[in-house]
Amino acid sequence: MTVTPYRVLLVGAGNIARAVHLPAFLELPADFRVAGVVDTDPAAARSLAADFSVPHHSTDLPASLGEVRPDLVVVASPPVAHREQVVAALRAGAWVWCEKPPALSLAEYDAMTAAEGEQGPYAPIVFQHRFGSGAEHARALISSGELGPPLVAHCQTTWYRDDAYYAVPWRGTWATEGAGPALGLGIHQIDLLLDLLGQWAEIRAMAGRLARDVETDDVTTATVRFASGALATVVNSALSPRQSSHLRIDLRDATIELNHLYGHGNDDWTYTPAPGIEAARAAAWARPAEDVPSSHAAQLRSLLADMRAGRRPRASAGDGRRALELISAMYKSALTGRPVLAGEIAPGDPFYTALHGSVPGWAPEGSRR
């Protein structure tokens, strides 16, 4: 039986669309056809359309939704535009695949998911680090209890972003980027940590403006207590010359480590058995035979299966919200100097609508109450 490819509308014609999203769709030509591209810069939209033989390009999203009639809208624009664009696409009847960070606040994210239908369309977030064979293998081992309960974890996104990076007008401000490196850089690794360890319970954090001329911050550190009782440290930096994305989980019977930068394969994961663990048992934890790197393509294949089945995809609704909630709580703890509990940030809390929480010394002058 011939299956008609899903029509895709790409919103945002920047590097992430050109270098990552379009190549992922080109791997699945029988399943997806990129039918249009929208960008506020007409030259960027026209150039991307010409380079990839996309038939439609425009600066007008509502008009494009009507003309292209997409099945899937990829939102790859700056985060300040996500809420409006995701809601418009969902209301037009299209599924949405939204780049990180999903929104500037929990209030915006909740407005996005409120536009979903009970039976779809749905709006998952691009959290590709939890997809791929290495992450799936680690998740299966942890959730099965084979390695014992998790006890200690470390989640590190220590990257380097220079002054030129922050010269882009929408970066480094609360109003357009939403927050500092925890939201813009570390959210992928944080999402993977939560995907492996489950619900968190309490967080204590600090934030600093140490070296970049930004309105937000350039470093955050935190200690997190999980519902399981496990304790974790989370470090996010835009100031680290030797860049690394590192995840370590110490369980009763083994240590799991992941070392990479922007994506991982099977060889980036290591398993160290605790003293006294039988060799045969540890050998059973070996990396999976198939090596599927974490990537947009890996998540896209999962999303395709969900679209075909008409079911809610991973990284949507509450599952896609967890990392943003933890990061919001991280800023609330850092800027108020007190611990924050899971579920505490709700409508009426100033950190629900902005990650600076209107705190003097951090919030822009015009936003303080």
Distance CA 5, CA 38 (A): 20
The overall average pLDDT reported for the chain is: 97
Burial of 117: CB neighbours in 10 Å, binned 0-12, 13-18, 19+: exposed
Amino acid at 52: F
Judge whether residue 367 has pLDDT over 80. no
Please report the pLDDT score of residue 218 as a whole number.
98
The structure tokens listed for 250 are: 């110490």
- First and final C-alpha spacing in the chain: 60
Average pLDDT over residues 297-316: 98
Please report the pLDDT score of residue 365 as a whole number.
76
Please report the pLDDT score of residue 369 as a whole number.
39
Average pLDDT over residues 10-35: 97
For the chain, percent of residues with pLDDT exceeding 70: 98
Instruction: Give the residue among 195, 220, 221 at the shortest CA–CA distance from 209.
Output: 220
Amino acid at 269: W
Q: Is 357 left (phi over 0), alpha (psi -120 to 50) or beta?
A: left
pLDDT band at 366 (very low <50, low <70, confident <90, very high): low
Distance CA 136, CA 304 (A): 18
Please report the pLDDT score of residue 368 as a whole number.
41
Distance CA 369, CA 363 (A): 10
Cβ atoms of 230 and 240 closer than 8 Å = no
The helix (H) or strand (E) run that includes residue 277 is: none
Instruction: Give the residue among 192, 57, 58, 217 at the shortest CA–CA distance from 126.
Output: 192
The model carries a pTM of: 0.96
Taking only the tens place, the pLDDT of each residue in 134-157 is 999 999 999 999 999 999 999 999
Average pLDDT over residues 2-28: 95
Distance CA 16, CA 77 (A): 9
Please report the pLDDT score of residue 93 as a whole number.
98
pLDDT band at 1 (very low <50, low <70, confident <90, very high): low
Average pLDDT over residues 97-118: 97
The helix (H) or strand (E) run that includes residue 195 is: helix 187-197
- Output 203-206 pairs: Cβ under 8 A, ≥24 positions apart: 203/326, 203/329, 203/330, 203/333, 203/339, 203/340, 204/333, 204/338, 204/339, 204/340, 205/234, 205/329, 205/330, 205/331, 205/333, 205/334, 206/334
Taking only the tens place, the pLDDT of each residue in 176-224 is 999 999 999 999 999 999 999 999 999 999 999 999 999 999 999 999 9
Instruction: Give the residue among 127, 159, 152, 157 at the shortest CA–CA distance from 223.
Output: 152
Distance CA 60, CA 26 (A): 24
Cβ atoms of 345 and 332 closer than 8 Å = yes
Average pLDDT over residues 278-284: 96
The helix (H) or strand (E) run that includes residue 358 is: none
Query: The tokens 């990396």 sit on which residue?
Result: 287
